[in-house]
Amino acid sequence: ELMVTVAVVAILAGIALPSYNAYITRSRVPAGLEALSSYAMRMEQGYQDTGNYGTGGCRVALPAAANYTLSCSISNSGQGFTATATGSGQLNGYTYSIDHNATRRTVAHPKGVPGSDCWSIKGVTCDT
């Protein structure tokens, strides 16, 4: 009886642990998305004040986001920008971006990238 109990517990642990790890990973994704949204808003405020997003570099300092490295690039002579959040650690393989048109893209995802512009937490399809 004890061996049967141990076997059942082992099977349940084998199923539950990967699901739990996936849940924890998904729970960490929104921090980068929130940082990108906030950053885009601050870039727009800077554009309203000066008429451009920056010259030679992004006008607004990049925020810190847990498990992400954020970057920004300027395009079209300061009239456009793209901010990118690249996952690190447990979020390695996740990359998201937002641009001056508020276009949100899933650039990289371990399960695949959606065919349309959106931020996908689960991969392949857009989350609503």
pLDDT tens digit string along 28-58? Answer: 889 999 999 999 999 999 999 999 999 878 8
Q: Which domain holds residue 59?
A: 30-108
In a domain, 74, yes or no: yes
**For 51-107, what is each residue's pLDDT tens digit?**
999 987 888 899 988 899 999 999 999 999 999 999 999 899 999 999 999 999 999
Establish if 57 belongs to a structural domain: yes
What's the confidence (pLDDT) of residue 10? 84
Whether residue 5 is contained in a domain is answered as no
Of residues 81 and 10, which shows the higher confidence score?
81
Answer yes or no: is pLDDT of 121 > 90: no
The pLDDT of residue 128 = 54
List beta partners, residue 118.
Answer: none
In a domain, 11, yes or no: no
Residues in contact with 82: Cβ distance below 8 Å, sequence separation at least 6, in sequence order: 72, 73, 75, 97, 98, 99, 100
In a domain, 124, yes or no: no
**Residue 6 within any structural domain of the chain:** no
> How many CB atoms are closer than 10 A to CB 113?
15
Task: Indicate whether 110 pLDDT > 70.
Answer: yes
| Top-confidence residue, 86 or 115 | 86
In total, how many domains does the chain have? 1
Tell whether 128 is covered by a domain.
no
- Say if 10 falls within a structural domain: no
pTM for the full model? Answer: 0.82
Residue 2: predicted pLDDT: 86
pLDDT at position 88 = 93
Cβ neighbours for 99, distance < 8 A, ≥ 6 positions apart: 80, 81, 82, 83
- Domain with residue 36: its CATH number is 3.30.1300
Percent of the chain, pLDDT > 90? 50
